[in-house]
Amino acid sequence: MAIHPIEYRYGTEEMKFVWSEKNRLEKLMLVEAALAKAEADIGLIPKRAAEIISKSIGLVELDRVKEIEDEIHHDMMAVVIGITEKCSDDAGKWVHFGATSNDILDTATCLQLKDAVKILEDKMVKLLDVLLTQAETHKHTVCAARTHGQIGVPTTYGLRFAIWASEVARHIERLEQLKPRLLVGQMTGAVGTQAAFGKNGIEIQKRVMQYLEIGSVDVSNQIIQRDRHAEFVMWMANTVTTLDKIGVAIRSLQRTEIAEVEESFTKKQVGSSTMPHKRNPIKSEQICGLARIVRSMVEPELLNNTLWDERDLTNSSCERVVFPEACVLTDHIIKLCTGVIENLRFYPENIRRNLNLLRGLNMGEALMIELAKRGVGRQEAHEIVRLSAMEAHETGKHFKEVLLTNPEVMKYLTEEEINNLVDPHKYIGTAVEQVEAVIEKLRKRISHIT
């Protein structure tokens, strides 16, 4: 019986598989096989034993391991016994030789994290590509910008998408930077001294990680220190917060009163059980809602680094929840956001309506700057324009009408110049050039990554 929404509602199958019981067992056994090979390489165990152990791991069944765990109440020893049962001759006695549980558990977790990171990275690159495509498509789409929820000077949709793309690109860069710190395994024994491995402990650890194609800790105690994992969980929280921000923007822009953009709405989609007309931004709302869950994982993972002495077990149960949930939900949110952005519907007529909603008042800065250029002091120009703007606001007249009757303005500007200055399409500065520069830069980065 499914209980958690991840089981039936959220997440991709590829990310769910990474954190499945089956894959977890496979990763644990891969580490055990790598350990046996490394120990055989330096003569600590017989080479024949290592070969048998490596072949035997493919025969171990999850149900049998769970059956053993039910009897002995130790998950790692259940795996060790499960492998031992499948080993011929006396090779079984060399399984897990010299290792502590977390040598295997934490290193296996690294293998899972490596797979998870690859999935997340691929999806982030796809999201970046979609954002850049929208930036290119809408680099000339002039629209009303808003500060404090109020209409300001014009901007472009291309610039909005470019800003989001730059942020996503930084997250991709951060993920690349944290990989060497996150994707490491250990083989250090009971409390980190490698005493059970003897003088060859450092070499054994090195060889194990080479077989597994991951990095190696420089030093650890019984576990890999959790600052590494906390950094990754914080990366996920930071990433989904960016997507939360995008979701909030889309939800706001889809408001009935604004209605500039809209999530895709399929032919048979139902918006409300009681209001048949509704077309709700449910995907963006889901992004915003699930982002809260991912962010909530940060504190538990930070606390997983504050263990007693060489270790305690308080991190274990916590991480069985944190790692799968955070990864599955982050993956889901990225995919969902990509689809929303890719299929976003634009309403040009509403974009134009809102751009002109203030009847020219949002062009006050353009007038002020031009008056200052013509010799009026900046502060004096600000006051002249402010008084005209307040008059237009109170009377309901178009800003241009008020300006044309203001002798202080007309001393410096002609009617034609005023017409140009209140045209929002002529006051977007370097927005187009900025967008084009971002697209060129980040397209090259995508090419490098892929």
Q: Mean pLDDT of all residues in the chain?
A: 95
Per-residue pLDDT tens for 356-384?
999 999 999 999 999 999 999 899 999 99
Name residues whose C-beta falls within 8 Å of residue 195's C-beta, 6 or more positions apart in sequence. Answer: 189, 201
Domain boundaries, the chain: 13-262+277-352, 361-421
HEC string of 330-394?
HHHHHHHHHHHHHCCEECHHHHHHHHCCCCCHHHHHHHHHHHHHCCCCHHHHHHHHHHHHHHHHH
Per-residue pLDDT tens for 319-331?
999 999 999 999 9
13-262+277-352 falls under which CATH superfamily? Fumarase/aspartase (Central domain) (1.20.200.10)
Decide yes or no: CATH 1.10.3470.10 for domain 361-421: no
Q: pTM of the predicted model, to two decimals?
A: 0.94
Query: Would you call 272 a catalytic residue per the annotation?
Result: yes
pLDDT at residue 269, rounded to an integer: 80
Query: Would you call 148 a catalytic residue per the annotation?
Result: yes
pLDDT-derived band of residue 270, with 50, 70 and 90 as boundaries?
A: confident
pLDDT at residue 1, rounded to an integer: 86
> Exactly one of 148, 273, 317, 447 is catalytic; which is it?
148
Question: How much of the chain, in percent, has pLDDT values that exceed 70?
Answer: 100
Q: Between β-strands 345-346 and 261-262, what pairing exists: parallel, antiparallel or unpaired?
A: antiparallel
Cβ–Cβ < 8 Å for 96, 74: no
Cβ–Cβ < 8 Å for 102, 222: yes
Spatial separation of the C-alpha atoms in residues 403 and 419, rounded to whole Å: 10
Per-residue pLDDT tens for 391-445?
999 999 999 999 999 999 999 999 999 999 999 999 999 999 999 999 999 999 8
Is the confidence at residue 448, as pLDDT, over 90? Answer: no
Angle, CA of 334, 340 and 345, to the nearest 5°: 160
> Exactly one of 88, 264, 272, 296 is catalytic; which is it?
272
Question: Which whole number is the average pLDDT over 200-208?
Answer: 97
Spatial separation of the C-alpha atoms in residues 225 and 216, rounded to whole Å: 12
Question: Which whole number is the average pLDDT over 145-154?
Answer: 95
